[in-house]
Structure 1
Amino acid sequence: MSEEVTYADIKFQDSSKRENIHEFDTVGIKVYTTLKIEMGKLNKLQNFKEELQRNISLQLIHNMNNSKMIMDLSNTLQEIATRLCHELYKREPEHKCKPCPKTWMWHEDSCYILIDNYETWQESVMFCSAQNASLLTIKNKSVLEFIKSKRLRRYWLGLSTKKYQRSYQELDETIISSNWLTRNRNVVNGRMHCGYIDTVYIYYTDCSFPMRFICQKLADPVKIESEIPDGKYS
Protein backbone atom coordinates (compact mmCIF):
# COMPACT_ATOMS: atom_id res chain seq x y z
CA MET A 1 0.00 0.00 0.00
CA SER A 2 2.75 2.41 0.96
CA GLU A 3 4.74 1.70 -2.26
CA GLU A 4 1.81 2.71 -4.48
CA VAL A 5 1.51 6.06 -2.70
CA THR A 6 5.18 6.70 -3.15
CA TYR A 7 4.92 5.90 -6.84
CA ALA A 8 1.98 8.30 -7.22
CA ASP A 9 3.93 11.07 -5.50
CA ILE A 10 6.87 10.65 -7.85
CA LYS A 11 4.64 10.74 -10.90
CA PHE A 12 3.08 13.98 -9.68
CA GLN A 13 6.45 15.68 -9.16
CA ASP A 14 7.68 14.68 -12.66
CA SER A 15 4.48 16.07 -14.19
CA SER A 16 4.98 19.40 -12.36
CA LYS A 17 8.51 19.67 -13.67
CA ARG A 18 7.38 19.10 -17.23
CA GLU A 19 4.73 21.79 -16.88
CA ASN A 20 7.31 24.21 -15.50
CA ILE A 21 9.70 23.44 -18.36
CA HIS A 22 6.90 23.88 -20.88
CA GLU A 23 5.95 27.23 -19.36
CA PHE A 24 9.61 28.31 -19.40
CA ASP A 25 9.94 27.30 -23.05
CA THR A 26 6.78 29.23 -23.90
CA VAL A 27 8.04 32.37 -22.12
CA GLY A 28 11.44 32.00 -23.77
CA ILE A 29 9.88 31.75 -27.20
CA LYS A 30 7.77 34.84 -26.52
CA VAL A 31 10.83 36.80 -25.31
CA TYR A 32 12.85 35.68 -28.31
CA THR A 33 10.04 36.59 -30.69
CA THR A 34 9.60 39.98 -29.04
CA LEU A 35 13.34 40.68 -29.15
CA LYS A 36 13.45 39.66 -32.80
CA ILE A 37 10.56 41.99 -33.63
CA GLU A 38 12.11 44.86 -31.67
CA MET A 39 15.52 44.29 -33.28
CA GLY A 40 13.81 44.43 -36.66
CA LYS A 41 12.21 47.73 -35.72
CA LEU A 42 15.54 49.02 -34.42
CA ASN A 43 17.27 48.07 -37.67
CA LYS A 44 14.55 49.83 -39.65
CA LEU A 45 14.97 52.93 -37.50
CA GLN A 46 18.74 52.79 -37.94
CA ASN A 47 18.35 52.48 -41.72
CA PHE A 48 15.88 55.36 -41.71
CA LYS A 49 18.28 57.45 -39.65
CA GLU A 50 21.16 56.75 -42.02
CA GLU A 51 19.01 57.54 -45.05
CA LEU A 52 17.85 60.75 -43.41
CA GLN A 53 21.46 61.74 -42.65
CA ARG A 54 22.42 61.06 -46.28
CA ASN A 55 19.52 63.19 -47.51
CA ILE A 56 20.42 66.01 -45.13
CA SER A 57 24.06 65.86 -46.24
CA LEU A 58 23.03 66.00 -49.89
CA GLN A 59 20.70 68.91 -49.16
CA LEU A 60 23.44 70.77 -47.31
CA ILE A 61 25.83 70.24 -50.22
CA HIS A 62 23.12 71.44 -52.61
CA ASN A 63 22.46 74.51 -50.46
CA MET A 64 26.18 75.26 -50.22
CA ASN A 65 26.53 75.02 -53.99
CA ASN A 66 23.53 77.32 -54.43
CA SER A 67 24.97 79.78 -51.90
CA LYS A 68 28.30 79.79 -53.71
CA MET A 69 26.58 80.36 -57.04
CA ILE A 70 24.57 83.23 -55.57
CA MET A 71 27.70 84.71 -53.99
CA ASP A 72 29.65 84.40 -57.24
CA LEU A 73 26.80 86.02 -59.16
CA SER A 74 26.56 88.82 -56.60
CA ASN A 75 30.30 89.47 -56.82
CA THR A 76 30.16 89.48 -60.62
CA LEU A 77 27.27 91.96 -60.61
CA GLN A 78 29.16 94.15 -58.12
CA GLU A 79 32.27 94.14 -60.32
CA ILE A 80 30.23 95.03 -63.41
CA ALA A 81 28.42 97.80 -61.55
CA THR A 82 31.72 99.22 -60.26
CA ARG A 83 33.30 99.20 -63.72
CA LEU A 84 30.24 100.87 -65.22
CA CYS A 85 30.18 103.47 -62.47
CA HIS A 86 33.88 104.21 -63.08
CA GLU A 87 33.10 104.93 -66.73
CA LEU A 88 30.18 107.17 -65.80
CA TYR A 89 32.33 108.91 -63.19
CA LYS A 90 34.92 109.80 -65.84
CA ARG A 91 32.22 111.63 -67.80
CA GLU A 92 30.43 113.07 -64.78
CA PRO A 93 32.52 113.30 -61.55
CA GLU A 94 29.45 113.82 -59.37
CA HIS A 95 27.37 111.03 -60.90
CA LYS A 96 24.91 109.51 -58.42
CA CYS A 97 26.53 106.08 -58.63
CA LYS A 98 29.80 107.40 -57.16
CA PRO A 99 30.48 105.62 -53.84
CA CYS A 100 32.17 108.67 -52.29
CA PRO A 101 30.65 111.72 -50.58
CA LYS A 102 30.07 114.82 -52.64
CA THR A 103 33.28 116.79 -53.41
CA TRP A 104 35.44 113.73 -52.68
CA MET A 105 37.50 112.19 -55.49
CA TRP A 106 37.17 108.49 -56.25
CA HIS A 107 40.09 106.25 -57.16
CA GLU A 108 39.88 102.44 -57.10
CA ASP A 109 38.48 101.50 -53.67
CA SER A 110 39.17 104.78 -51.87
CA CYS A 111 37.85 108.34 -51.62
CA TYR A 112 40.07 111.43 -51.36
CA ILE A 113 39.43 115.06 -50.51
CA LEU A 114 41.74 118.08 -50.67
CA ILE A 115 41.32 120.40 -47.71
CA ASP A 116 42.53 123.91 -48.42
CA ASN A 117 42.26 125.11 -44.83
CA TYR A 118 45.67 125.60 -43.23
CA GLU A 119 46.08 123.42 -40.14
CA THR A 120 48.87 121.90 -38.09
CA TRP A 121 49.67 118.27 -38.74
CA GLN A 122 47.89 117.16 -35.57
CA GLU A 123 44.83 119.30 -36.37
CA SER A 124 44.80 117.76 -39.86
CA VAL A 125 44.81 114.28 -38.31
CA MET A 126 41.87 115.24 -36.09
CA PHE A 127 39.92 116.75 -38.99
CA CYS A 128 40.31 113.63 -41.14
CA SER A 129 39.40 111.40 -38.21
CA ALA A 130 36.15 113.34 -37.79
CA GLN A 131 35.33 112.40 -41.40
CA ASN A 132 36.00 108.70 -40.66
CA ALA A 133 39.15 109.13 -42.73
CA SER A 134 42.91 109.52 -42.27
CA LEU A 135 45.70 111.58 -43.72
CA LEU A 136 46.83 110.38 -47.13
CA THR A 137 49.13 107.37 -47.29
CA ILE A 138 50.64 106.10 -50.54
CA LYS A 139 51.31 102.36 -50.57
CA ASN A 140 50.95 101.25 -54.18
CA LYS A 141 51.86 102.49 -57.64
CA SER A 142 48.28 103.15 -58.69
CA VAL A 143 47.68 105.57 -55.82
CA LEU A 144 51.14 107.05 -56.43
CA GLU A 145 50.31 107.91 -60.06
CA PHE A 146 46.88 109.22 -59.06
CA ILE A 147 48.40 111.59 -56.50
CA LYS A 148 51.25 112.67 -58.80
CA SER A 149 48.68 113.68 -61.42
CA LYS A 150 47.21 116.19 -58.94
CA ARG A 151 50.48 118.10 -58.62
CA LEU A 152 49.84 118.85 -54.96
CA ARG A 153 51.81 121.68 -53.39
CA ARG A 154 52.55 121.49 -49.68
CA TYR A 155 49.93 119.10 -48.30
CA TRP A 156 50.38 117.17 -45.08
CA LEU A 157 50.70 113.38 -45.45
CA GLY A 158 50.12 110.46 -43.11
CA LEU A 159 53.82 109.94 -42.39
CA SER A 160 55.36 109.05 -39.07
CA THR A 161 56.76 112.01 -37.20
CA LYS A 162 60.53 112.42 -36.89
CA LYS A 163 62.79 114.40 -34.61
CA TYR A 164 64.51 115.84 -37.63
CA GLN A 165 64.54 115.16 -41.36
CA ARG A 166 66.87 117.35 -43.36
CA SER A 167 66.86 115.92 -46.90
CA TYR A 168 63.92 115.55 -49.24
CA GLN A 169 62.80 112.28 -50.82
CA GLU A 170 61.25 111.51 -54.18
CA LEU A 171 57.63 110.42 -53.92
CA ASP A 172 58.29 107.28 -56.03
CA GLU A 173 60.68 106.00 -53.37
CA THR A 174 58.07 106.02 -50.62
CA ILE A 175 55.77 103.20 -51.74
CA ILE A 176 57.73 100.55 -49.85
CA SER A 177 58.61 102.90 -47.02
CA SER A 178 57.81 101.87 -43.46
CA ASN A 179 57.25 105.56 -42.61
CA TRP A 180 53.60 105.50 -43.62
CA LEU A 181 51.35 105.50 -40.58
CA THR A 182 49.08 102.61 -39.81
CA ARG A 183 47.39 104.87 -37.28
CA ASN A 184 47.34 108.64 -37.19
CA ARG A 185 47.59 108.92 -33.43
CA ASN A 186 51.19 109.95 -32.82
CA VAL A 187 51.81 112.36 -29.99
CA VAL A 188 53.42 115.44 -31.51
CA ASN A 189 55.49 117.99 -29.64
CA GLY A 190 57.30 121.15 -30.69
CA ARG A 191 60.45 119.27 -31.68
CA MET A 192 58.82 116.86 -34.07
CA HIS A 193 58.85 117.13 -37.86
CA CYS A 194 56.03 115.87 -40.10
CA GLY A 195 56.03 114.93 -43.76
CA TYR A 196 54.28 116.78 -46.58
CA ILE A 197 54.09 116.45 -50.35
CA ASP A 198 55.29 119.07 -52.80
CA THR A 199 54.65 117.95 -56.40
CA VAL A 200 56.74 114.75 -56.67
CA TYR A 201 58.82 115.18 -53.51
CA ILE A 202 58.38 114.63 -49.79
CA TYR A 203 59.78 117.04 -47.23
CA TYR A 204 59.63 117.32 -43.46
CA THR A 205 58.96 120.43 -41.44
CA ASP A 206 57.83 121.48 -37.97
CA CYS A 207 54.54 119.70 -37.23
CA SER A 208 53.07 122.90 -35.79
CA PHE A 209 53.44 124.66 -39.14
CA PRO A 210 50.00 125.29 -40.74
CA MET A 211 49.53 123.59 -44.09
CA ARG A 212 46.82 122.17 -46.33
CA PHE A 213 46.18 118.43 -46.25
CA ILE A 214 44.44 115.53 -48.00
CA CYS A 215 42.22 112.92 -46.37
CA GLN A 216 41.41 109.44 -47.61
CA LYS A 217 38.92 106.74 -46.65
CA LEU A 218 37.51 103.52 -48.00
CA ALA A 219 34.80 103.94 -50.64
CA ASP A 220 31.36 102.45 -50.13
CA PRO A 221 30.30 99.62 -52.46
CA VAL A 222 28.70 100.84 -55.69
CA LYS A 223 24.95 100.47 -55.40
CA ILE A 224 23.32 98.15 -57.94
CA GLU A 225 20.12 99.72 -59.24
CA SER A 226 17.38 97.30 -60.20
CA GLU A 227 16.04 99.68 -62.84
CA ILE A 228 17.33 102.63 -64.86
CA PRO A 229 14.50 105.19 -65.23
CA ASP A 230 13.54 106.10 -68.80
CA GLY A 231 16.44 104.09 -70.18
CA LYS A 232 18.95 106.70 -69.03
CA TYR A 233 22.21 106.27 -67.14
CA SER A 234 22.13 109.60 -65.34
Structure 2
Amino acid sequence: MSLQLHGHPFSSYCWKALIALYANDTPFEFVMMDGSRPLSEQLPGKVHPGGHIPVLVDGDRIVIEATGIVEYLAVHHPGPAPLIPADPAQAAEARMIDRVFDNYVMGGMQRVVSAYFVDRDHPELGLREQPVEAEVAGGKARLRMVYAWLEKWLGSNRLPPHVSLVTCAAAPSLFYADWIEPIPEECPQLRALRAELNDLPPVRRCIEDARPFRPFFPLGAPDRD
Protein backbone atom coordinates (compact mmCIF):
# COMPACT_ATOMS: atom_id res chain seq x y z
CA MET A 1 0.00 0.00 0.00
CA SER A 2 1.31 3.44 -0.86
CA LEU A 3 1.50 6.22 1.67
CA GLN A 4 -1.61 8.25 2.36
CA LEU A 5 -1.64 11.72 3.88
CA HIS A 6 -4.99 12.78 5.25
CA GLY A 7 -5.33 16.52 5.52
CA HIS A 8 -6.31 19.78 3.84
CA PRO A 9 -4.19 21.90 1.45
CA PHE A 10 -4.90 25.13 3.36
CA SER A 11 -3.70 23.72 6.69
CA SER A 12 -0.31 25.03 7.82
CA TYR A 13 0.51 21.81 9.63
CA CYS A 14 -0.39 19.76 6.55
CA TRP A 15 2.04 21.91 4.59
CA LYS A 16 4.73 20.80 6.99
CA ALA A 17 4.25 17.14 6.03
CA LEU A 18 3.62 17.90 2.36
CA ILE A 19 6.87 19.86 1.99
CA ALA A 20 8.83 16.84 3.22
CA LEU A 21 7.00 14.51 0.85
CA TYR A 22 7.40 16.82 -2.15
CA ALA A 23 11.07 17.51 -1.44
CA ASN A 24 11.94 13.83 -1.75
CA ASP A 25 9.46 13.00 -4.51
CA THR A 26 7.95 10.42 -2.17
CA PRO A 27 4.98 8.67 -3.79
CA PHE A 28 1.81 9.18 -1.76
CA GLU A 29 -1.91 9.71 -2.03
CA PHE A 30 -3.37 12.90 -0.63
CA VAL A 31 -6.78 12.31 0.96
CA MET A 32 -8.75 15.53 1.28
CA MET A 33 -10.61 15.80 4.56
CA ASP A 34 -14.35 16.33 4.41
CA GLY A 35 -15.15 19.27 6.67
CA SER A 36 -18.73 18.09 7.12
CA ARG A 37 -17.71 14.90 8.91
CA PRO A 38 -15.51 14.38 11.98
CA LEU A 39 -12.11 12.82 11.45
CA SER A 40 -13.16 9.77 13.48
CA GLU A 41 -15.68 8.90 10.75
CA GLN A 42 -13.23 9.45 7.93
CA LEU A 43 -10.43 7.46 9.56
CA PRO A 44 -12.18 4.81 11.67
CA GLY A 45 -9.81 3.50 14.29
CA LYS A 46 -6.98 5.55 12.80
CA VAL A 47 -7.56 8.97 14.22
CA HIS A 48 -5.43 11.58 15.94
CA PRO A 49 -6.34 11.64 19.66
CA GLY A 50 -7.30 15.29 19.30
CA GLY A 51 -9.06 14.79 15.98
CA HIS A 52 -6.44 16.83 14.14
CA ILE A 53 -4.70 16.66 10.78
CA PRO A 54 -2.38 15.68 9.21
CA VAL A 55 -2.45 11.93 9.65
CA LEU A 56 -0.02 9.71 7.70
CA VAL A 57 -1.04 6.14 6.89
CA ASP A 58 1.74 3.76 5.89
CA GLY A 59 0.19 0.32 5.56
CA ASP A 60 -0.86 -0.67 9.07
CA ARG A 61 1.16 2.10 10.66
CA ILE A 62 -0.46 5.40 11.62
CA VAL A 63 1.71 8.45 12.23
CA ILE A 64 0.32 11.64 13.77
CA GLU A 65 1.65 15.13 14.49
CA ALA A 66 3.39 17.00 11.66
CA THR A 67 6.83 16.88 13.28
CA GLY A 68 6.44 13.16 13.94
CA ILE A 69 5.50 12.63 10.29
CA VAL A 70 8.63 14.45 9.07
CA GLU A 71 10.78 12.41 11.47
CA TYR A 72 9.10 9.20 10.30
CA LEU A 73 9.65 10.03 6.63
CA ALA A 74 13.32 10.77 7.30
CA VAL A 75 13.78 7.26 8.72
CA HIS A 76 11.41 5.11 6.65
CA HIS A 77 11.19 6.99 3.33
CA PRO A 78 14.50 8.83 2.92
CA GLY A 79 15.48 10.73 -0.19
CA PRO A 80 17.87 13.44 -1.37
CA ALA A 81 16.45 16.02 1.04
CA PRO A 82 18.06 15.24 4.42
CA LEU A 83 15.06 16.33 6.57
CA ILE A 84 16.98 15.55 9.79
CA PRO A 85 20.70 16.49 10.01
CA ALA A 86 22.97 13.46 10.35
CA ASP A 87 25.11 15.11 13.03
CA PRO A 88 23.41 14.58 16.43
CA ALA A 89 24.23 18.07 17.69
CA GLN A 90 22.88 19.69 14.54
CA ALA A 91 19.81 17.47 14.69
CA ALA A 92 19.15 18.59 18.28
CA GLU A 93 19.40 22.22 17.24
CA ALA A 94 17.08 21.63 14.27
CA ARG A 95 14.50 20.09 16.59
CA MET A 96 14.83 23.08 18.93
CA ILE A 97 14.16 25.58 16.12
CA ASP A 98 11.31 23.40 14.85
CA ARG A 99 9.65 23.88 18.24
CA VAL A 100 10.19 27.66 18.08
CA PHE A 101 8.44 27.90 14.72
CA ASP A 102 5.59 25.58 15.75
CA ASN A 103 4.96 26.84 19.27
CA TYR A 104 5.58 30.55 18.90
CA VAL A 105 5.25 31.53 15.22
CA MET A 106 2.53 29.06 14.26
CA GLY A 107 1.07 29.28 17.75
CA GLY A 108 0.87 33.07 17.71
CA MET A 109 -0.72 33.00 14.27
CA GLN A 110 -3.31 30.44 15.29
CA ARG A 111 -4.12 32.34 18.47
CA VAL A 112 -5.23 35.28 16.33
CA VAL A 113 -7.16 33.07 13.90
CA SER A 114 -8.92 31.32 16.79
CA ALA A 115 -10.07 34.69 18.13
CA TYR A 116 -12.41 34.90 15.14
CA PHE A 117 -14.13 31.58 15.79
CA VAL A 118 -17.23 31.20 17.92
CA ASP A 119 -15.56 28.28 19.68
CA ARG A 120 -11.90 27.52 19.04
CA ASP A 121 -12.60 23.80 19.52
CA HIS A 122 -15.52 23.88 17.07
CA PRO A 123 -14.64 26.27 14.24
CA GLU A 124 -17.31 24.67 12.05
CA LEU A 125 -19.88 26.65 14.06
CA GLY A 126 -18.87 29.82 12.27
CA LEU A 127 -17.16 33.14 12.90
CA ARG A 128 -17.72 35.81 15.49
CA GLU A 129 -19.07 39.15 14.31
CA GLN A 130 -16.17 40.68 16.23
CA PRO A 131 -13.02 38.77 17.23
CA VAL A 132 -11.84 38.52 20.82
CA GLU A 133 -9.63 41.61 20.74
CA ALA A 134 -7.50 40.57 23.71
CA GLU A 135 -6.59 37.35 21.92
CA VAL A 136 -5.81 39.20 18.70
CA ALA A 137 -3.55 41.64 20.54
CA GLY A 138 -1.89 38.86 22.52
CA GLY A 139 -1.21 36.74 19.45
CA LYS A 140 0.25 39.66 17.51
CA ALA A 141 2.44 40.64 20.45
CA ARG A 142 3.74 37.08 20.66
CA LEU A 143 4.56 37.17 16.96
CA ARG A 144 6.53 40.41 17.28
CA MET A 145 8.46 38.89 20.18
CA VAL A 146 9.40 35.72 18.31
CA TYR A 147 10.25 37.67 15.15
CA ALA A 148 12.82 39.65 17.13
CA TRP A 149 14.19 36.47 18.74
CA LEU A 150 14.54 34.71 15.40
CA GLU A 151 16.21 37.72 13.79
CA LYS A 152 18.82 37.70 16.52
CA TRP A 153 19.25 33.93 16.29
CA LEU A 154 19.70 34.05 12.53
CA GLY A 155 22.45 36.63 13.00
CA SER A 156 24.72 34.11 14.72
CA ASN A 157 23.48 30.69 13.56
CA ARG A 158 22.93 28.81 10.32
CA LEU A 159 19.90 26.79 9.36
CA PRO A 160 20.31 23.24 8.05
CA PRO A 161 20.34 22.94 4.24
CA HIS A 162 16.93 22.84 2.59
CA VAL A 163 14.80 20.85 2.78
CA SER A 164 14.99 20.01 6.47
CA LEU A 165 12.65 19.72 9.43
CA VAL A 166 13.31 23.42 9.99
CA THR A 167 12.26 24.25 6.43
CA CYS A 168 9.07 22.27 6.90
CA ALA A 169 8.22 24.19 10.08
CA ALA A 170 9.41 27.64 9.07
CA ALA A 171 7.80 27.87 5.63
CA PRO A 172 4.11 27.53 6.58
CA SER A 173 4.43 29.34 9.89
CA LEU A 174 6.15 32.40 8.41
CA PHE A 175 3.86 32.35 5.37
CA TYR A 176 0.65 32.65 7.38
CA ALA A 177 2.02 34.62 10.35
CA ASP A 178 3.15 37.41 8.02
CA TRP A 179 -0.45 37.73 6.83
CA ILE A 180 -1.51 38.46 10.39
CA GLU A 181 1.43 40.50 11.69
CA PRO A 182 3.85 41.45 8.89
CA ILE A 183 7.49 40.76 9.66
CA PRO A 184 8.92 44.24 10.32
CA GLU A 185 11.70 45.92 8.36
CA GLU A 186 13.80 45.65 11.51
CA CYS A 187 13.99 41.90 10.83
CA PRO A 188 15.59 41.82 7.35
CA GLN A 189 17.06 38.32 7.74
CA LEU A 190 13.71 36.85 8.72
CA ARG A 191 11.96 38.65 5.85
CA ALA A 192 14.59 37.29 3.47
CA LEU A 193 14.15 33.77 4.88
CA ARG A 194 10.39 33.90 4.26
CA ALA A 195 10.95 34.98 0.66
CA GLU A 196 13.59 32.28 0.17
CA LEU A 197 11.30 29.58 1.55
CA ASN A 198 8.36 30.71 -0.58
CA ASP A 199 10.50 30.22 -3.70
CA LEU A 200 11.40 26.61 -2.91
CA PRO A 201 9.55 24.28 -5.32
CA PRO A 202 7.94 22.12 -2.57
CA VAL A 203 6.73 25.23 -0.74
CA ARG A 204 5.54 26.94 -3.92
CA ARG A 205 3.51 23.83 -4.69
CA CYS A 206 1.78 24.08 -1.31
CA ILE A 207 1.11 27.79 -1.84
CA GLU A 208 -0.51 27.22 -5.21
CA ASP A 209 -2.54 24.20 -4.08
CA ALA A 210 -3.91 26.24 -1.17
CA ARG A 211 -4.72 29.34 -3.24
CA PRO A 212 -8.37 28.40 -3.99
CA PHE A 213 -9.12 28.28 -0.26
CA ARG A 214 -7.90 31.79 0.62
CA PRO A 215 -11.45 33.21 0.89
CA PHE A 216 -11.88 31.05 4.00
CA PHE A 217 -9.08 32.83 5.89
CA PRO A 218 -10.97 34.54 8.75
CA LEU A 219 -8.95 37.78 8.67
CA GLY A 220 -9.10 38.03 4.89
CA ALA A 221 -6.10 36.84 2.91
CA PRO A 222 -3.91 39.69 1.65
CA ASP A 223 -3.56 40.23 -2.08
CA ARG A 224 0.03 39.01 -2.24
CA ASP A 225 2.17 35.87 -2.14
| Short-chain TM bin | under 0.3
Give the TM-score taking structure 1 as reference length: 0.19
Give the TM-score taking structure 2 as reference length: 0.20
